[in-house]
Amino acid sequence: MPIKNGSEYIESLRNRNLQVYLFGELVKEPVDHPMIRPSINAVAATYDIAIEDPEIGSAKSTLTGTQVNRFLHIAQSSEDLVNQNKMQRKLGQKTGTCFQRCVGMDALNSLYSTTFEIDKKYNTQYHTRLLEFIKKIQYENLVIGGTMTDVKGDRSLSPSQQEDPDMFVHIVRRDEKGVYIRGAKAHQTGCINSHWLIVMPTMRLRPEDKDYAIVGAIPVDAKGITYIYGRQSCDTRSMEDGDLDTGNSQFSGQEALIIFDNVFIPNDLIFMDGEVEFASMLVERFTCYHRRSYVCKTGLGDVLIGAAAAIAEYNGVSNASHIKDKLIEMTHLNETIFAAGIASSHQAYKTPSGNFINDDMLANVCKHNVTRFPYEIGRLAQDIAGGLMVTMPSEKDFRGAVTGPLLDKYLKGRKGVSTEDRVRILRLIENMTLGRNAVGYLTESMHGAGSPQAQRIQIARQMQLEYKKKLARRLARIPEGENTTDSTLIAESSDYFDRIFGLKKEKQNNA
């Protein structure tokens, strides 16, 4: 039976016998572990939003004709992509953390068009297989985890040049039923909380890297998979009594190292096998979707701005001009991230396969903003909060017979605000800027979907400088060919306005 809501999703994760290690020990049941459960709750929210707000949380599948969770939907229009962004922001507001399903959503959409083009060139059956897989997961309403980032070893060497071939996931043997893979994937968001993993290459590949050009779907509990849970700052606070010190006791993100040891992928779940020239297409399309998906951080930003405004009020300084100015700046930065991401979705275009992909330049601008602006928003929140955010005594002291009354008296703020409420808001700011969910708001903003340099490379490729110089020379009345650089560069840049302004016309023609 398909999963209907967040509660049923949580129950679906039980009794899977996963090999999950945390603090060097095998976790008996991840669902009940106090450090893991908040991340499961965050994924559960992605189910409930489809019920609470079906317009943005769900969509009608063109494959089955039924309403499905938007995280499993193949985007059929720019409106679909815009609604993804709206859903991501709302979930960020609801959870204050990473809700872990964007990687799977973006992997499905990038694979949809890439497998179509592989089949067109090689007459393979990858796209047909993918469609059957998507129908299955849409019907059962499952969580898909995308795994792309290899551990990489020596970064100066290609996958096939590594001293240890397992530094990149690769095929180690095959038989008539499928292939067996070995290697590891790092920083894998929500992998333990998923039902299926999609393994993908992490970079463009050469012909000698053929065994590394593997894409396939694997059950999370498949034989040969080991998960080693990642640490997060202040994470053991969730194992203490009470919830005051956690800041956000209900929700958190999740990352883990996944180790594949001769893990089997059957033929009907293989979506690329050796087509090295399509690895770069898949990676670039995935990053195009995923860098725009980082508008999710604006939902977290909304929470942090609200927390900063609340602590200013509790401290009695909400009317100070410098406080207002800092809140305005935080809001400006947050909305700038959202503007680039949602503009990228609005500028989507139709791929040969029929699904839509967002504008790549604006997606990279969105993600590049995310590598900077949340850090400044976090700094301003800490500025407004004050030093008590990081010097507060523990919850046990607040509950202590001797220390409790003293703390209640001396850590009180404005009249009418309880000391505990003031402490809870300060702990939330700590949680999002220094504590456990700082991973989802800050560090993930820096390195998720590629580090800042990765976006700068993509932006540089699309700057269209020669075409822009041509525009300037035309207005300056400099004759064509005079004081110009390579004319071929100008020719290569001639589609600039078509890319930016011709999309609406193209979408109308494709409708």
Task: Return the structure tokens found at 25.
Answer: 């020990």
Contact at 8 Å (CB) between 71 and 106? no
**CA–CA distance, 193 with 382 (Å, rounded to integer):** 32
In the block, which residue shows the tokens 């275009």? 349
By annotation, the residues acting in catalysis are 98, 102, 189, 255, 290, 294, 296, 444
**Number of helical H runs and strand E runs in the chain:** 21, 14
Token pair 């540089």 in the structure block, residue: 460
Q: Mind spelling out the 3-state secondary structure of 291-333?
A: HHHHHHHHHHHHHHHHHHHHHHHHCCCCCCHHHHHHHHHHHHH
**CB count in 10 Å sphere of residue 239:** 10
Name the residue with tokens 């994924």.
Answer: 43
CA–CA gap between residue 445 and residue 189 (Å, rounded): 13
* β pairing state of 349-350 and 356-357: antiparallel
Q: Residue 238 CA to chain centroid, in angstroms?
A: 23
Token reading at 478: 């400099």
Q: Are 67 and 58 in contact (CB under 8 A)?
A: yes
Q: Rounded distance, CA 480 to CA 483, Å?
A: 8
- Taking the C-alpha atoms of residue 80 and residue 97, their distance in angstroms, rounded to an integer, is 23
- Hey, what are 511's tokens? 């409708």
